[in-house]
Amino acid sequence: MQMKIATFNANSIRSRMSIVLDWLGGNAPDVLCVQETKVQDHDFPTDAFEGSGYEVVFKGQKKYNGVAILSRSKISDVSTEMDDVGDEQARFIKAVVNKIAIVNTYVPQGFERDSEKFEYKLDWLARLKRYFKSNFTPDRPIIWVGDFNVAMEARDVYDPERLWGHVCYCREVQDAIGEIAGWGFTDVFRMHNQADKQYTFWDYRDLSFRRNNGWRLDYIMATAPLAKKCTRCRIDTGPRAMEKPSDHTFLVAEFAG
């Protein structure tokens, strides 16, 4: 099998159409997972992606959140709910492509650690852990991607001492993500890249991108059957330097064997 899969927090898919379509044309991923589409389902720009050769499935809401999976191969077994809680926030979509389960998540940011939004973040991650345990076993080929809203290590954030305790860089969230990863996932970026200062997000403020004051918040995780076939994983910073960019950029992994 050969597959190239990418993930991208668009921070409004309709505002980023030229960047996304240009990137698809230049990189030809087999699958692209998008977060923060910020569009209701009836307004999703399906035609533009189908015109570029991609089947697309999505779950959205007005102004906030939203996730989508684009694939050059047939998509099946789509689910937009982790459980029967009835969560109104569009943060989860699962699909099967070429017998590989692809789970695309936009993890809550959390606001402040003493807020209800932070409690929701931790609860959401606990639900995601239960979802994987209830629906899969680690020997299945699964790829879990998205904006996880966590820096797992000091090298994943530009100023770890000052930023420790932030809702995206604190022990509670690191442990919650770590428990899910420990079920059977490998961070394929770190399989191939050990350097510091490798980021996927830069705030729009304070010349953050120019100064490389970033965070590694976006991940591609794979279970063992696929992790051993991952030949490359890279961050493409080019789109972040374009006009009217997202504050995130593309992370892309390649699998063969």
Mean pLDDT, range 232-247, rounded to an integer? 98
The alpha carbon of residue 8 and the mean position of all alpha carbons in its chain are separated, in whole angstroms, by 6
Query: pTM for the complete prediction?
Result: 0.98
Tens of pLDDT, residues 151-169: 999 999 999 999 999 999 9
What 8-state DSSP symbol labels residue 223? E
- CATH no. for residue 126? 3.60.10.10
Q: Please, what is the average pLDDT of the chain? A: 98
Residue partners of 165: CB distance under 8 A and separation at least 6? 113
Cβ–Cβ < 8 Å for 33, 52: no
Residue 213 in this model has a pLDDT that exceeds 90: yes
Domain that holds residue 135: 2-256
Number of domains in the chain: 1
226/219 Cα distance (integer angstroms): 15
Predicted local confidence at residue 86, as pLDDT: 86
pLDDT at residue 85 in the model: 87
Q: Give tens-digit pLDDT for 46-105.
A: 999 999 999 999 999 999 999 999 999 999 999 999 998 889 999 999 999 999 999 999
pLDDT of res. 1: 86
Q: For residue range 102-111, what is the model confidence (pLDDT) as tens digits?
A: 999 999 999 9
Nearest partner of 68 among 98, 46, 99, judged by Cα? 46
Q: What is the pLDDT of residues 12-56, one digit of tens each?
A: 999 999 999 999 999 999 999 999 999 999 999 999 999 999 999
| DSSP letters for 19-42 | HHHHHHHHH--SEEEEE-----GG
Res 89: pLDDT: 98
